[in-house]
Amino acid sequence: MSSLGSTIRVTLFTAILTTAAAQAQQPSTTAAGPVPPAVLSAKTIFVSNAGADSGLFPEPFSGDPSRGYSELYSDLKAAGKFELSGDPAGADLVLELELTAPYGPTNGSKQNGASDPLPMFRLVIYDRKTHYVLWTLTKSVEVALLQKTHDRNFDNAIMAMTISAMKPTTALKPLGAECEPLTMSANRIEPIWRRRITLQSRRRL
């Protein structure tokens, strides 16, 4: 094979590798999957309490294992988007909330595939008629040193979960990122914030 031919082959091979590497580094442009119509059209929901792992109450979080369920129920009721049913048979959707304390390394790394050891809320949305899972939301409770901060982070995680349950079209974002547009478009959420601010103020006293 001539030196010219070898040079051309090497050049083409290098170009192919460079192009493949560039394409691999480009962000995915895959369109987001659709939210199930049953989730978007639901009018009535039943909130189910799946409990919490042991060792989380009364420390580091105040109250009892039903605290997350009670706060979620109260927030959804105050928001007014859904009618809350006392019987799952009369609901369009069933929202099952669970608080878990997953095992994991002290310094978990998402890049290395290590699990997050922080307590985490998991909200599973079921179709009441078929019992199929339609949507799932998760939110970790941020780490803290003081119990009052643990409690505040607990409340913030529930609030973020509530907002995402009412608008399940995007992944969970930092609490402040989603509250502003929803407060502007649905003033009924404002009483939730007032109640939370009052509760947090009382805890500091």
**Within-domain flag for 81:** yes
Neighbour order of strands in the sheet with 120-127: 83-84, 44-52, 93-100, 120-127, 133-140
Check which CATH number belongs to the domain holding 79 and give it: 3.30.160
- What is the C-alpha separation between 177 and 158, in angstroms, rounded? 15
Residue 1 lies in a domain: no
Q: Has residue 123 been placed in a domain?
A: yes
Structural domain for 60, as ranges: 37-104+114-204
Number of domains in the chain: 1
In the prediction, which pLDDT does 15 show?
52
Q: How far apart are CA 85 and CA 107, in angstroms?
A: 42
In a domain, 28, yes or no: no
pLDDT for res 21? 52
pTM score, two decimals? 0.67
Rounded to 5 degrees, φ, ψ at 132 are: -80, 150
Provide the pLDDT for residue 159: 93
What residue ranges of the chain have pLDDT lower than 50? 10, 12-13, 16-17, 20, 170-205
Nearest CA to 98 among 122, 114, 118, 80? 122
> Residue 166 falls within a domain, yes or no?
yes
